[in-house]
Every structure is written in structure tokens, then in C-alpha cells.
Amino acid sequence: MKPEASNPNSSAASRFDAIIIGAGFSGLYQLHCLRDRLGLSVKLVEAGDDLGGTWYWNRYPGARCDSESHSYCYFFSKALYEEWEWSERYPGAPEILRYLDHVAIKFDLRRDIQFGTRVRSAHYDVADNHWIVEAESGQRFRATYLITAVGCISSANVPEIPGLDSFKGKWYHTGQWPHEGVDFAGKRVGQIGTGSTGIQAAPVIAQSAKHLTVFQRTANYSVPARNAPLSAEFKQYIREHHDEIQEVVESTPNGHPFRISETRVFDLHPAERQKAYEAAWEKGGLQFRAAFQDLLTDKAANDTAAAFLKSKIREIVNDPETAKSLADIDHPYAAKRPPIDTNYFETFNRSNVTLVNLRKDPIERITPNGIKTRDNEYELDVIVFATGFDALTGTLLKIDIRGRDGLCLRDVWKAGPRTYLGLQVPGFPNLFTVTGPGSPSVLCNMPVSIEQHVEWITECIAYMRDNGIERCEAAPEATEKWVEHVNEAANATLLPRVRHSWYLGANIPGKPRVFMPYAGGMTRYRAICNDVAAKGYEGFVLTRSGQGADAKAGTALNDFEAAADISTPGV
């Protein structure tokens, strides 16, 4: 179908087969699949002025991906995989943007993307079986299928600390970083937050700031990333081993290009275990987690990793009080997102860096001149909020999404997100969510999760069109069962035990505490999704033109239980 002409000033809706929201990894591939494989008319709308998704916004100092570059990319095109050359073990934000630009050029994607278009609402019109998507500008689009590709960590969280308005200096959130950069030379900088972002940013900010004060609420583990330029041999290995690397990322639970050891912590004597941890520390990055199979399922096993990592902090950091605060970690290793770093703990040995332990001396307010804690006052020129995101649901719920019978997604998810496979929500026909809550998403190397979701959605839409199906909607029973399974998978790990985790929504005041990502592992999840599709989209209500619902809601229910052998870790 040919789209109607799109006039940004017209309130009449432009019609397409599909609207995609978001031009990051998900949206770009979804556009390619729907337009070039299925031949649909597609419009992709994006709030930013260019593509990149999370990498468009997150341009803070030190912004770098924690997945290794040869796995942080698309696998669907072998030619693309082989022609692109990564320069370092982990790709920095600018290199990822260059990669996505290359993808957009190679597949001629930009012509169907409208930038600078933030979606305000998406309402389902039952009579017409169309979604009406409205931008903040008032421009409207109509489409049969609506695919949200809005990212999991795209809604910046600036905490409500009293007095921010009175601050005379400048402040920035890492997730909304000015594209022209920030000059810290001669500045007294305060950084709030020590998650993955803060741990990347602090060492870089410290190099140019006059003084950096890091405000730490929850101490965090970190493993050296051991980033380095890729050798010519490794680049050649990447070029020549697309299939093998793809096989590994698609058959490991978290989508990374290395396998998790099958050894359990207590299979080894303490001295051998120490050697294994030392070797994993030397390898660096997220590979540390792969040292043992049971780190995320057995607390006693995890305690040994925690003790090792805390001892490393004490070894690296010279000042005993600072080391004590940095190593005072209250949660199991990797039960929150495990950061990796380049000289994070070493940064606290610099004479221009100070750590403030907010557990002992909490922030009271921001003043015109800086930050006032209970016992001290810190004079600052710049405040950097590395305070994370309203993750997984925040961006979706900012859009006024209404389904059948006026159902509002904000109401439906009041007590926490409920989805079928993280892909659909009952009451919202033909609305598909790429890496939505209830799918592995942030527990997996994102592009691997994304490719699986986008391909599944594409095949589902192809099936609908081949079979004269107008509407596809998650069935309530299948959704209930899936939510139960998501909880069961989470409870088989240590992850839900961390009370201050953003996986649980705990970083956002008032957000319901629900474990949002699927912790059963990408491999298991992929098998479940394939099985659902092979059985004619079990658990979805499919409606043919002029007919009633072809519901297959009941039949999938036992299958999760069969797939749900969660005795092997999924994270």
C-alpha cells in the first residue's frame, strides 16, 4: 500500500501499514524488516533529531557499551557484519552512532524516518482497526500495526532533590547530555550516582575537572573492562567467523559472545577458586560473571565473588576510609546490573577526587552554591546526575496509549507491567513492543534481544497478512500465565532480592515494585516464542476479517511450564 502524502501541518492523518516509534537499534531493524521484507508502507517517527536511540542521548564523558563490540551489532546481514570494522573491544558512543548511520545508509532507511517527532498519544480506533498516532506537534498518522521501539532506558530520572531550581551553576543528566559537550576545566563538579554510567563517567570527568566530588548512595561492584584497541588478528577473526559468533550469542542465556562456565563455585577448593576469580578479573568486563555457573542462583556461591571483588577495591584504593565506603556493598554481585570500568576505583587515588558516602551523610538539598548534605556543604560549579532511568516502562507510559474500549495503558499497568512475552498487552490489538517488560531485554545483550523480537514481530505480521487476520491481541489467560512465569524465573535467581534495584522499579518514587525483565534467559525465551509461533500464535487472539475471534488462549499455558525448567540460570 502506498502511504498518503504526509503534511506535518495537517491534522488529517497520513496512512501507513505500520508506524514504528524510535530510531535506535530496534526501530531501524524493524523498519528494514517491515518495509523491505514484507513490502509494507512504514513510517518511523523519532523524537531526536537523528538516529541512535539511547546512544543519541547518552553522550556523557566515557559513554561506552559494556557489551563487546563484535556482539553489539546486528547479525541479520552477514555482509554488514563482515564489512564493518570495530576499533576497540567495547564500542564508544560515537562509534556506535557511526555504525548505525552506516546501517541506515546501507539499507536506505532515512527516507522513511521522520526525526524531531515526539509521540504524544496512540489511540486504537476499533471501527477502522487502526492506530492513530499523534505527535506533540499535532501531526497525526494512522496505521494497522503500531510497533514501539522506544528503548528500555530512555526516560532520564532526575531525582526530586529540593533546591535544584536555585542552583546557580549548570546541571546535566547523563542521559540528556548536550551534544556540544561540557567543558569541565577549572570546574568543581559534583556527580550524583554510581551505577554503570557514573562508574564510566567519573574517571573521565576527573581528568579535566578542577575537583570531582562523587556522591555515592549505594556502593557498587565493578570489574575492569580491559578495553583496548582490537588487534588485526581479532578483526580478521570477527570478519571470518560471523556464523560461529552468532551461534554463540544466540545460544547463551544473556546473548554475549562467551559461554558461562558449567563449574559451580563449590566444585573448586578455595585456592583453585581464587585462581579462577583472578583469571576472570584479568579477562575483565562482563566475562567475570561467566566464571561460575551458579553465581546468580546460590547466595553462598555469590558471597565468594563478592568477597573477591571487595578485596580488589581495598587493594586498589589507597585511603582506607574511602576504600571502606566503596567496598561497603550490600547486595550480591550482578544481582543489580554489574558495571565494568576503566580506572574507576583508581580515580579515588587522585588528589582532585573525593567520595561522599550518602548512607552516612545524606543529601538534604541543593543550594545556590552546591550540595548540602546533613553534615557538610559542597561548593560546586556543575552537577552531573548519573541517576539512571525510569526503566522499561517509563518511556511507554509517557505516551497516552489507549486500546480497545478506551483502555489506558497507564491504568492497566498501574500495579506494574503485565504483558504476554513482553510483546503484547491484552486490550491493545496490533500493538507490539520491542523488548518490552516481561522479555529478557536488559538482562541480555540488547541487539541480540532486539533481533529476536523484531524478527518475531515481522513473522507474526506476515502470518496475519497471509491468513487474512486483521487483529492480533494477547489473550488475558496467556498473559496471566506469562506474568506468573516471569515472576517464577526471577525468583529462581538472586535478582529480586535487591530492594534498591531498577529492575524492580525501586529507583522511581511511587513506581510499583515488580520485577520487570524476564530472567529465564534468552535461549529459553527464544524457544518459547518460536513454539508459540509454530503453534499458530498460541495465547494470542487472532481475528479474521468478518469473523469472530480465533482464540488459542488456552493451549499455550502448559507449554511455559514445560519450558520453565529454571534449574539452569537464565542470567
User: x-or-dash pattern for ligand NA7, window 414-443, by CB under 6 A?
Assistant: ----------------------------x-
Q: Does 570 bind ligand NA7 (CB under 6 A)?
A: no
Choosing from 413, 502, 518, 537, the residue that interacts with ligand NA7 (CB under 6 A) is: 502
- Scanning residues 438 to 467, which ones bind ligand NA7 (CB under 6 A)? 442
Binding mask 374-413 for ligand NA7 (x = CB under 6 A): ------------xxxx------------------------
Smallest separation, CB 561 to ligand NA7 (Å): 31
Q: How far is the CB of 218 from ligand NA7 (least distance, A)?
A: 3
Q: Does 148 bind ligand NA7 (CB under 6 A)?
A: no
Q: Are 549 and 543 in contact (CB under 8 A)?
A: yes
d(CA 487, CA 515) in angstroms, rounded, equals: 7
**Residue partners of 300: CB distance under 8 A and separation at least 6:** 265, 266
The packing angle between helices 93-106 and 25-32, to 10°, is 10
Contact flag: residue 358 with ligand NA7 (CB under 6 A): yes
Q: How far is the CB of 372 from ligand NA7 (least distance, A)?
A: 13
- Is 52 an interacting residue with respect to ligand NA7 (CB under 6 A)? no
Residue 513 near residue 531, CB atoms below 8 Å: no
Question: Residue 35 or 289: which CB sits closer to ligand NA7?
Answer: 289
- Out of 31, 93, 192, 457, point to the residue binding ligand NA7 (CB under 6 A): 192
Q: How far is 537 from 176, CA to CA, in rounded Å?
A: 39
In angstroms, how far is CA 264 from the centroid of its own chain? 28
Find the shortest distance in angstroms from Cβ 97 to ligand NA7.
Answer: 16
Provide, rounded to whole angstroms, the least separation between the CB of residue 336 and ligand NA7.
7
Least Cβ distance, residue 493 to ligand NA7 (angstroms): 16
Q: How far is the CB of 296 from ligand NA7 (least distance, A)?
A: 15
Q: Read out DSSP for 84-110?
A: ----BSS-BHHHHHHHHHHHHHHTT-G
For position 53 contacting ligand NA7 by CB under 6 A, the verdict is no
Give the residue carrying C-alpha cell 500500500. 1
Q: Which residue number, 388 or 422, has a Cβ lying nearer to ligand NA7?
A: 388
Is residue 332 at the binding interface for ligand NA7, with CB under 6 A as the rule?
Answer: no
Q: Is 195 in the site for ligand NA7 (CB under 6 A)?
A: yes
Angle between helices 25-32 and 446-466 (to 10 degrees): 30
φ, ψ of residue 504 in degrees (nearest 5): -100, 0
Cell of 514: 515488580
Determine contact, residues 302/333, Cβ cutoff 8 Å. yes
- The total of other beta-carbon atoms located within 10 Å of residue 303's CB is 14
Question: 193 or 403, CB closer to ligand NA7?
Answer: 193
Taking residues 287 to 326 in sequence order and writing x for each that binds ligand NA7 by CB under 6 A, - otherwise, the string is: ----------------------------------------
**153 lies in the site for ligand NA7, by CB under 6 A:** yes
Least Cβ distance, residue 220 to ligand NA7 (angstroms)? 7
Query: What residue type is 301 in one-letter code?
Result: A
Question: Nearest residue by C-beta to ligand NA7?
Answer: 195
- DSSP string spanning 189-210? EEEE--SHHHHHHHHHHHHHBS
CB of 65 vs ligand NA7, minimal distance in Å? 9
The answer to the question of residue 222 lying near ligand NA7 (CB under 6 A) is no
> Cell 530512555 appears where?
154
In the block, residue with C-alpha cell 578495553: 227
- Number of neighbours of residue 218 by Cβ within 10 angstroms: 18
Interacting stretch for ligand NA7, rule CB under 6 A, among 39-47, 98-106, 180-188, 194-202?
A: 194-202
For the bound state, the minimum distance from the C-beta of residue 570 to ligand NA7, rounded and expressed in Å, comes to: 17
In this chain, which of 30, 67, 71, 194 binds ligand NA7, going by CB under 6 A? Answer: 194
Check residue 359 for interaction with ligand NA7 (CB under 6 A).
no
Cell numbers linked to 352 = 582532585
Place of cell 585462581: 275
The residue (of 80 and 508) whose beta carbon lies closer to ligand NA7 is 508
Burial of 351 (0-12, 13-18, 19+ CB in 10 A): exposed
CB of 328 to ligand NA7, least distance (A): 12
**Alpha-carbon span 74 to 106, nearest angstrom:** 13
Helices (H), 344-426: 344-347, 394-398, 409-412
Spatial contact of 148 and 119, defined as CB atoms under 8 Å apart: no
Helix (H) / strand (E) containing 457: helix 446-466
Residues of this chain that interact with ligand NA7 (CB under 6 A) are: 153, 159, 192-198, 215, 217-218, 337, 358, 363, 386-389, 442, 500, 502, 507
